[in-house]
Amino acid sequence: MKTIAVIGLGRFGFYIAKSLSRLGVKVIAVDNDEKRVQEISEYVDNAYIVDSINKQALEEIGVYNLETVIVSIGENIEASILTVMALKDLNNKTVIAKAINSTHGEILTKIGAFKVIYPEKIAGRMLVKKLIDNMSVEEIDVSNTIKIIKFVANESLIGRKISQIELEFSNLKIISYKANSMWSTQVDSSYQVKKDDILVFLGESENIKVFYKNLKIFK
């Protein structure tokens, strides 16, 4: 199960944490306000009263080496900046941080935030959709050990030729793909995968698990 930490449980952060949890994501929710933590605790797997600038405290509750962390701290710009710095020191890969103005946003970007969001410009529900888009995978069991999988190409595959993908994942076979709203079963190995393409693979279950792990596709 994919784990995402949400730090700061104001209106925006609370909505994000609650929505992700309802979509099957394991959420670690963090705030220094006891009331907010109590309110979110009925919706998420783990909720903690923690000072998010404290690296040791973050590490103790599991906020390290995560694929995604969302920082939704409100008006306290200093706490927001120090939290992002702590998260990067703890090897969290993708830190998405809320900013209250462009100067705040520029600082967050310079210290390592992968993406800066402005709540007045992007609704919380749009961020949730973006976070879970790459998790949509369909599987068909061909036998006890063979599966067909279908999913929208993620960033790891976009821009690569089918021949390159099959060379790297030699135990899997691309049997079809959808590009520009058209399905093709005559696979062109020179075709370069584009955003929103749908790929269909055939392979053994164990090899598909390795494929998921390497491409950070979560089931």
Q: Where are the domains of the chain?
A: 3-133, 137-215
The region, left, alpha or beta by phi > 0 then psi within -120 to 50, assigned to residue 54 is: beta
Centre a 10 Å sphere on the Cβ of residue 219 and count the other Cβ atoms it contains.
12
Phi and psi (nearest 5°) for 148? -110, 130
Q: Distance between CA 196 and CA 152 in Å, rounded?
A: 6
- pTM equals 0.58
* Contact criterion met (CB below 8 Å) for 117 and 98: yes
Q: Distance between CA 201 and CA 142 in Å, rounded?
A: 12
pLDDT value at residue 10: 87
Beta strands 146-152; 137-141: pairing state: antiparallel
pLDDT value at residue 146: 64
Q: Distance between CA 207 and CA 69 in Å, rounded?
A: 29
Q: Distance between CA 114 and CA 1 in Å, rounded?
A: 22
CATH architecture of the domain 137-215 equals 2-Layer Sandwich (3.30)
* Contact criterion met (CB below 8 Å) for 37 and 48: yes
* Contact criterion met (CB below 8 Å) for 8 and 36: no
For residues 71-106, one letter each, b for 16 or more C-beta atoms within 10 angstroms of the residue's C-beta and e for the rest, the string is bbbbeebebbbbbbbbbbebebeebbbbbbeeebbe
Which residues in the chain come in under a pLDDT of 50? 123, 126, 135, 142-143
pLDDT value at residue 142: 44
Written out in words, the top-level CATH class of the domain with range 3-133 is alpha beta
* Contact criterion met (CB below 8 Å) for 90 and 70: no
pLDDT value at residue 118: 78
Q: Structure tokens of 184? A: 């093709």
